Amino acid sequence: MMDKKKFIDVADQREAWNYLVEHMFDRRNAELESMRLAVRATSVPVPNDILQRLVLLNPTDAHDVLREHPGFKLWDRYRSYENSYQLFDHSFVGIRRAIEKFESDAEDGSIFTRVRTKDLDDIQQSVQKELFTAANAAASLVDHSRRLQKFVGASGYTNQLVASFGEDGLHEFIIDLRVMLHHLHVVKPGYQWQKRFEEDAKTKFSFTFSRDALVQAANDTDPERLKKLIEYLSSAPEKIDVKLTWDEYRRRAEKFHAWFSETVKVHSFENVRDYERCVKENKNFASRTFWNATLGNWLNNWKVPPNPYNHLAKYLTPEQIVEVYALPMGSTEQVDKVIEFVDEDEACDQHIRQQAYELFRRAIATETAPG
């Protein structure tokens, strides 16, 4: 049976521990609120005294506090737009790969035989999937560009849309394609081949949309957009080449993106750069803390520290390793080159660099030691 005095002591200890945790939690929240108010009231660039408090926060808390930074909203919208554009651009890779696989497999004609019916079906499904992904990415990019434009009010935005995308209805066709592909009618692209009978001429294979099927689907879309869609489809060929159509739209989108991305950067972008500076300083402080602790432990507490040469492949590409080994083994030039490749955020300070020199020096000494 537990002694009553001991039981009371245990209860007191738990209460003391709970009080301590609650007190620490309250202090943390008070500090974070103080930091939020300080960042909200500050000008750009953020003063060093506030920045030094920021770098001591863990990355999650720092991100939360920096939402009050004058550059956060523009950074957030611009980053979302850029990410959306990269996804949009990458979606074309998927379309091209799927169609080019069909073109490659179709060269010897075996893909059209009965025994490869499933392979052909798989390719068609792949093209359908990639088209749906690309159409969604295009619609998402429009939403993100409008969201960013609403914030910055870039001059000439509407005129540049026309200059980049034209007025032939291609833009409306691509944006509404997501709806037409699945929500109204399941409009599937089909493959076709064009046989040429000249000597040594190759048969051309491609995936196409049926113009008539698209017109039928377009008639069920938004009446306000129907005029542009029908205008585009009425001037399109009977079979609309999928790859050529998307390549042309990608070219137009790339033109607009180049203009819009640069135009946005003249709008209060010094605030964005200062926001990124604060995030980078917080991240670099954490990196320096980690590497100082790790290198210090290896050099001061390990009888034989890890050999960094044995781990280069984890951090460097084969091409970078070739560059590193082209320099004198264990030299400061060689270590500097490793740091240049690994330290993408430029967090390394002189103290860490000196420790890295010593780590590589000991590795060389160990390898050349007698016995």
- Answer yes or no: do 138 and 245 share one domain: yes
Each residue's pLDDT tens digit, 319-354:
999 999 999 999 999 999 999 999 998 999 999 999
Beta-carbon contacts of residue 50 (< 8 Å; ≥ 6 apart): 35, 38, 39, 42
pLDDT(200) > 60: no
pTM for this predicted structure:
0.77
- pLDDT for residue 161: 95
Each residue's pLDDT tens digit, 234-287:
888 888 888 888 999 999 999 999 999 999 988 888 999 999 999 999 999 999
- pLDDT for residue 270: 92
- pLDDT for residue 199: 45
**% of the chain with per-residue pLDDT over 90:** 53
Which CB contacts under 8 angstroms, 24+ apart, belong to 225-233?
A: 225/172, 225/176, 228/169, 228/172, 228/173, 229/169, 229/172, 229/173, 229/176, 230/169, 231/168, 231/169, 232/168, 232/169, 232/170, 232/172, 232/173, 233/169, 233/173
- Answer yes or no: do 13 and 107 share one domain: no
- Answer yes or no: do 58 and 126 share one domain: no
- Answer yes or no: do 212 and 307 share one domain: no
pLDDT(185) > 50: no
- Answer yes or no: do 99 and 242 share one domain: yes
- pLDDT for residue 297: 96
- In a domain, residue 76? The reply is yes
- In a domain, residue 1? The reply is no
Q: Which helix (H) or strand (E) holds 205?
A: strand 204-210
Single residue among 26, 45, 68 that ends a domain in this structure? 68
- Answer yes or no: do 59 and 76 share one domain: no
- pLDDT for residue 184: 41
- In a domain, residue 154? The reply is yes
pLDDT(22) > 80: no
- pLDDT for residue 73: 93
Single residue among 232, 267, 302 that ends a domain in this structure? 267
- In a domain, residue 41? The reply is yes
For the chain, what is the domain count?
Answer: 3
Q: Strand pairing of 239-241 and 204-210? A: antiparallel
- Answer yes or no: do 358 and 218 share one domain: no
Count Cβ atoms below 10 Å from residue 213 Cβ, excluding itself: 17
Each residue's pLDDT tens digit, 308-328:
999 999 999 999 999 999 999
- Answer yes or no: do 85 and 157 share one domain: yes
- Answer yes or no: do 98 and 59 share one domain: no
- Answer yes or no: do 167 and 287 share one domain: no
Separate counts of helices (H) and strands (E) for the chain: 15, 3
Q: Which residues of 68-87 are buried (b: 16+ CB within 10 A; e: fewer)?
A: ebbbbebbbbbebbeebbeb
Each residue's pLDDT tens digit, 105-163:
777 777 778 888 888 888 888 888 888 889 899 999 999 999 999 999 999 999 999 99
Range of the domain at 338: 270-368
Confidence of residue 191 (pLDDT cuts 50, 70, 90): low
Single residue among 18, 45, 68 that ends a domain in this structure? 68
